[in-house]
Amino acid sequence: MPPTEKRRNWTCEEDLVLLIQAAADQLFAAEKGGVTKAWQALADTLIGCEHFVRVVDGRRVQNRFTALVEEHRRFDKASALLSGVCEEEKEKHVIAAAKKNDTASQDKDKVEQDALIVRDVAMRTLKRRKDCELDELKRKSPTENRRNSLAASIEVEGERELLVREKELEFQRFKFEAELKERERLRGLDREEMKAERDHQVLLARIESEKMLTMFKAVAEAKK
């Protein structure tokens, strides 16, 4: 059980990291009875991430994810009436929508779509944040500029990490497609084996019937 921390609201950046990691882990594919372990594994991964400083466990992560999905549902209902919603909030809802679709279906097209959405949203968020920081650097003192140069270097590392995450998502998609093809191949083999077994049983029954008929004819001939 992780140590307790002072309660504070989740930031948009923390929500984004949670949704990206949830997309990579594909929690919807967890086997029955392993959902709790899957959420705890996700929490452990987040704690080990240098860009995620919140102390969480599986229950807290699952509760926050559920809250984001509910928030997205409310957003859908109100979107026709609202305007001027900030871009960062829209991005959260885009990722939440992708994860809600994942929970409902393991279809290959959804996996591909979710990977593209997560990549696009994450990269646009990083680019926008980097552009804003560069504008601020031009207006600050040399000391502040040196300090923020270090922050910019850290941001570049974060971008590299997201590129690695993109590769992981691509691998997960490839693995999912391979598993689908393998299951389809095995189902095809099972059908062929069942048909061959039925044909074999029919042939054995026919041979046995012919043997009995021949024996009856021989007995009848012997009695004449």
Position 172 scores a pLDDT of 82
Q: Is the pLDDT reported for residue 216 higher than 60?
A: yes
Position 205 scores a pLDDT of 76
Residue with tokens 């019937």: 209
Give the CA-trace dihedral at 58, 63, 65, 68, to 10 degrees: -160
Q: What is the mean pLDDT of residues 24-47?
A: 80
Position 65 scores a pLDDT of 86
Position 67 scores a pLDDT of 87
- Highest average pLDDT, of 32-46, 106-120, 185-199, comes from 32-46
Position 88 scores a pLDDT of 52
Residue with tokens 């979710």: 114
Q: Could you read off the pLDDT of 95-137 as tens digits, one per residue?
A: 666 665 555 555 555 555 555 655 665 566 666 666 766 766 6
What sign does the dihedral 191-192-193-195 (CA atoms) show?
positive
Q: Is the pLDDT reported for residue 160 higher than 60?
A: yes
Q: Could you read off the pLDDT of 59-88 as tens digits, one per residue?
A: 998 898 888 888 877 877 776 566 554 555
What span, in angstroms and rounded, lies between the C-alpha atoms of 73 and 68?
9
Query: Looking at per-residue confidence, does 30 or 3 come out higher?
Result: 30
DSSP letter at 140 equals S
Long-range contacts of 193-200 (CB under 8 A, 24+ apart): none
Q: Is the pLDDT reported for residue 37 higher than 80?
A: yes
pTM over 0.75? The answer is no
CB 94 within 8 A of CB 71: no
Position 38 scores a pLDDT of 87
At residue 51, φ and ψ (nearest 5 deg) are: -95, 5
- Highest average pLDDT, of 70-79, 83-92, 134-143, 150-159, comes from 70-79
What span, in angstroms and rounded, lies between the C-alpha atoms of 118 and 110?
12
Q: Which of 136, 157, 158 is nearest to 147 (CA)?
A: 136
